[in-house]
Structure 1
Amino acid sequence: MLEFDNDLDKFKAIKEACLQYLVRREHSQKELLRKVSEKGFARPDIDLVISELAEQGLQSDARFAESYARSRVHRGFGPLRIKTELQQRGVGDCYFDMAVEDIAGSWQALLMQVYEKKYGASSSTIDIKELLKRSRFLQQRGFSTEMIRELLKNL
């Protein structure tokens, strides 16, 4: 058990707050720290509790990254956007690579699926203005310029 200046009640309160968030969904350590800090607990105390939860396997940045990436892939977001969002949530690149390895399958197939859902499967002639508009949409979804160029070339 961790030491909190012999204040077992504070430890229990912080742990309970963390567990309340983790029961609902996976959270990164950074998210947990931010949310529990808002409840008025001191950061060093929260860090200790989160470290203990991670050691016990109750909190895992790897699990969070996988869960988050899976939900974003299913909503049609590309690798660049998912990676950026994970970094904003305090999850490093290595977790991103592990998380999306099996989830996405083929990014190009996902890109085609997103494109067809938005614009349909028809490959009628498109003027340059419309092509740029579609390209911007796909970039905002998190697909690289090279991926989009390849897609548009194959249409």
Structure 2
Amino acid sequence: MKPKISLKARALRYLSMREHSRLELRRKLLSYVEETDDIDSILNWLEQSQFLSSERFSDSLVHRRSSRFGNHRILAELQSHQLHEEDVNRVRQVLIGTEASRAIDVLHKKFPVAPIDQTEKLKQSRFLQQRGFSGRAIQEALRAGRLEDEALS
């Protein structure tokens, strides 16, 4: 029979795999809580010991998502984790400067050929909208040159 893992050990195991928000870690641990466990005190200890950090979590999430998604989608996901407004604002400032270049990369990866008509242009625009890019970033991405354009010049 395997020895029972404590709630603190289980939390540390989750955190060793990747960063978690406090809300996400709490949700994962709730099914393992017993009568003698105080989940809030464990989460507080993890934060005080710097094992659980909302700043590291937000940076990690941005790193994982920024190559595929726009600011709206990333910020919505951060807000769903109930992070502090300061963390969300910090991330927002970082993302604003890179959104257009990320939109260009995402668009050109999916659609290496420039749109030939209005229907294709709308299709590419909707693709970026669904990924959470702003209108400004979408316009810049649609105006940017494609691989075959650069090969012709």
TM-score (norm 2): 0.78
Alpha-carbon RMSD: 2.5
| 1:147 counterpart residue number | 137
Q: How many Å separate the matches in 1 of 2:30 and 2:73?
A: 27
- Residue equivalent to 1:33: 26
Q: 1:73, 1:100 → 2: CA distance?
A: 12
By how many angstroms is 1:34 displaced?
0.2
Question: What are the ranges of 5 or more consecutive residues in structure 2 without an aligned counterpart?
Answer: 146-153
Q: Which amino acid letter does the alignment assign opposite residue 25 of structure 2?
A: L
The Cα offsets for residues 11-50 of structure 1, whole Å up to 9 and x where unpaired, read as: x9221121111111111000110000022346x8211210
1:131 aligns with 2:130: no
Instruction: Give the CA deviation at 1:148.
Output: 1.1
2:34 and 2:76 map into 1 onto residues whose CA distance is 29
CA deviation map 1:68-121 (0-9, x unaligned): 1111113x211111111112223244323434655785211111111111111x
**Is 1:89 paired with 2:81?**
yes
Name the CA distance, whole Å, in 1 between partners of 2:96 and 2:13.
Answer: 30
Superposed, 1:113-132 pairs within 5 Å as: 113-120=105-112, 122-123=113-114, 126-132=116-122
- Residue ranges of structure 1 left out of the alignment (5+ in a row): 1-11
Quote the residue 1:78 is aligned against. Answer: 70
CA distance, structure 1, for counterparts of residue 91 and residue 9 of structure 2: 28
CA contact (8 A) 1:31 1:90 kept: no
**Alignment-mate amino acid for residue 52 of structure 2:** Q
Identity of aligned residues (%): 36
| Aligned residue-pair number | 140
Q: Determine the structure 2 residue equivalent to 1:3.
A: none
Structure 1 segments (4+ residues) deviating >6 Å: none
Q: Is contact 2:75-2:92 (8 Å) kept?
A: no
Does the residue aligned with 1:27 lie in a helix, a strand or coil? Answer: coil
Letter in 2 for 1:82: I
| TM-score, normalisation: structure 1 | 0.77
**Partner amino acid, structure 2, of 1:58:** F
Amino acid at match of 1:141: R
